[in-house]
Amino acid sequence: MVALLAMSATALAGPLEGRVEMPEESASEDEAAPYYWRVWNGFIELQSDRPDPSRELAVVLTGGELEEPVGCSYAVRGGDFLPRTMVVKPGAALRIENRDGCSHELQSEGIPDFAPLATAPGNARAINVPAGGPYTITDRLYGHVEGTVHVVEGLAACGQVGADGSFRFEGVPAGSYTLKVFRGAEEVHSADVELTETTTTLEEPIDLGG
- pLDDT tens for 137-188 read 999 999 999 999 999 999 999 999 999 999 999 999 999 999 999 999 999 9
Q: Which fold has domain 14-21+56-201?
A: Immunoglobulin-like (2.60.40)
102-135: per-residue pLDDT in tens? 999 999 999 999 999 999 999 999 999 999 999 9
What is the Cβ-side half-sphere exposure of residue 186, based on CA atoms within 13 angstroms? Answer: 5
Measured torsion, CA atoms of residues 80, 151, 165, 54, in degrees rounded to the nearest 10: 20
Q: Which has the closest alpha carbon to 24: 55, 46, 53? A: 53
**pLDDT given for residue 9 in this prediction:** 56
Model's pTM, two decimal places? 0.85
